[in-house]
Structure 1
Amino acid sequence: MKLNLKNPLVFFDLETTGINIIHDRIVEISFLKVYPNGKEEVKSRRINPEKPIPPQATAIHGITDDDVKDCPTFKQVARSLADQLEGCDLAGFNSSRFDVPLLAEEFLRAGVDFDMSKRKFIDVQIIFHKKEQRTLEAAYAFYCNKKLDNAHSAEADTIATYEVLKSQLDRYPDLENDIEKLSKEYSSFNSNVDFAGRFIYDEKGVEVFNFGKHKGKPVAEVLKNEPSYYAWMMDGDFPLNTKQALTKIRLRGMNG
């Protein structure tokens, strides 16, 4: 099924030094850009993470320190990448829990203002898990009747994810070919305020904590009654995007 698009949709996948959003870095990024007219464009680029790639990460994606030693850093390509993603919605496999938060962190570290809140996000894994409960390889076999060769190659995973979404739309009549609905109704489990889900919106649309001793309490209320909690989080091991969201809420309360 051809995707019904108002904006270009970029399917992307990251290979990284590990799975910690705060401390790990991108070593390869691949994306497949699908235009409203059906045109498709694939690009891949390796990135120097400026830190050693652990053997356990290399064992998964096959990328070594030598492979990326002469590659540009993320900071060197960040502006160009942001320009290529401008005006696009984003899609991936497990992207809402890992790829999108990590990409947001990399842009923030690079000092490039790329407003992720303006994008719609499609997470093909969440759609798949809500429907079938499987992995990408199994999803590819189940929906596309194909074997996924070169699994954990960013480009192979990116292209497979695109094919899976099209097959999902063909298979499920209730899955509407509309990016906004796929993003809001099928690609998220919670209404996150920040990408890591440390804060979520409650049923009234109020930002509340989603972890720790203040879980379920309004963020603005906690910051007002316990100002030191803001400093604790800002000094803590939280993603930059989470700290950015916290600061916006705090400033809104101070100016309110």
Structure 2
Amino acid sequence: MELKLTKPICFFDLETTGINVTNDRIVEIAIFKVYPNGNKESKTWLVNPTIPIPAETTAVHGITDEKVANEPTFAQLASTVYNMIKDSDLAGFNSDRFDIPLLAEELLRAGVDFDMKNRVAVDIQTIFHKKEERTLSAAYKFYCGETLENAHSAEADTMATYEILKSQLERYEDLPREMKSLSEYTTRKKTADFAGFIVIDKDGEEAFSFGKHKGKKVNDVLDAEPGYFSWLQNADFPLYTKKVLTAIKLRKLNTK
């Protein structure tokens, strides 16, 4: 593999109670950390989500309420997880749209001030979709020539994601090896928050992507309708989206 690492990169995968970034919870997390010197470490935790795991979700990943009943909650694991990823770039399969946003919600909910300011993210699914249009299991079969055993196990999916990226780098000579460029290649669209409620417009400024103010610059809306900020903060939006909005508002106040 020819990744040009200037800092560690953490490949990770989540198994959860569902697919709602705001309301669902982690039931398993696996992290595989690769250092610039080639050293590697791996950790996997089962997590008590503190809410019931729906039967249809258990049918996918096999994790039941009983299996995690005596496991630590994410709040108890948050500092350990954060310490493992805090100096690292992040990578996963569909991680930009799901795993990173949900992990951010869990960390913020636990009082850990997580953000992406000093790191980049690489979504291996985007490389795959741009090149081949397949699922994770098919990607593993296509690139690695093997059947993915224990699919929807966080550890198996994490290791498969790492192996897929190595094979992609070998197969596609035009893929960037440096993290910032690889992150840009795997980014579908520029957003200020993980969930995509705040996008970066053609002028390089934050704009709303939804609702009655869709397409309008955040700063313009906050000027014209100050109460909209309070409504957003009290509505059912992801914590990270609210954090980004607060940062925009504070930045605006500090420039006056």
TM-score by length of 1: 0.97
AA in 2 matched with 1:224: D
Q: Which moved more, 1:149-158 or 1:209-218?
A: 209-218
Q: Distance in 1 between matches of 2:254 and 2:32?
A: 42
Instruction: Write the mapping of 1:124-163 to structure 2, written as runs, cut at 5 A.
Output: 124-163=124-163
Q: Report the secondary structure of 2:127's partner residue.
A: helix
The answer for unaligned runs of 5 or more in structure 1 is none
Q: Does the CA contact (< 8 Å) of 1:22 and 1:102 recur in 2?
A: yes
2:252 counterpart of 1:253 = yes
Q: Distance in 1 between matches of 2:247 and 2:9?
A: 28
Q: Which residue of 2 aligns with 1:14?
A: 14
1:7-28 per-position Cα deviation (integer Å, ceiling 9, x unaligned): 1111000000000011100000
1:86-105 per-position Cα deviation (integer Å, ceiling 9, x unaligned): 21111000000000000000
Q: Which residue of 2 aligns with 1:244?
A: 243
AA in 2 matched with 1:131: K
Kindly state the Cα deviation for residue 250 of structure 1 after the two structures are TM-superposed.
1.5
Q: Distance in 1 between matches of 2:141 and 2:209?
A: 35
1:214-255 per-position Cα deviation (integer Å, ceiling 9, x unaligned): 121100101110112112211211000001111111222223
Q: Does the CA contact (< 8 Å) of 1:2 and 1:38 recur in 2?
A: no
Q: Distance in 2 between matches of 1:7 and 1:172?
A: 23
Count of residue correspondences? 255
Kindly state the Cα deviation for residue 3 of structure 1 after the two structures are TM-superposed.
2.4
Q: Which residue of 2 aligns with 1:38?
A: 38
1:90-122 per-position Cα deviation (integer Å, ceiling 9, x unaligned): 100000000000000011100012333222100
Q: Does the CA contact (< 8 Å) of 1:96 and 1:123 recur in 2?
A: yes
Instruction: Write the mapping of 1:192-211 to structure 2, written as runs, cut at 5 A.
Output: 192-211=191-210
Q: Distance in 2 between matches of 1:221 and 1:160?
A: 45
Kindly state the Cα deviation for residue 204 of structure 1 after the two structures are TM-superposed.
2.0
AA in 2 matched with 1:227: P
1:22-72 per-position Cα deviation (integer Å, ceiling 9, x unaligned): 110000000111111222222100111111111011001100111111111
Identity among equivalent pairs (%): 58
Q: Which residue of 1 aligns with 2:79?
A: 79
2:68 counterpart of 1:52 = no
Q: Distance in 2 between matches of 1:107 and 1:177?
A: 29
AA in 2 matched with 1:105: E
Q: Distance in 1 between matches of 2:117 and 2:18?
A: 25
Kindly state the Cα deviation for residue 167 of structure 1 after the two structures are TM-superposed.
0.7
Q: Distance in 2 between matches of 1:26 and 1:53?
A: 10
Q: Which moved more, 1:35-44 or 1:165-174?
A: 35-44
Q: Distance in 1 between matches of 2:68 and 2:36?
A: 34
Q: Which residue of 2 aligns with 1:110?
A: 110
Q: Report the secondary structure of 1:122's partner residue.
A: strand
Q: Does the CA contact (< 8 Å) of 1:104 and 1:116 recur in 2?
A: no
Q: Which residue of 1 aligns with 2:225?
A: 226
Q: Report the secondary structure of 1:15's partner residue.
A: strand
The answer for unaligned runs of 5 or more in structure 2 is none
Q: Report the secondary structure of 1:72's partner residue.
A: coil
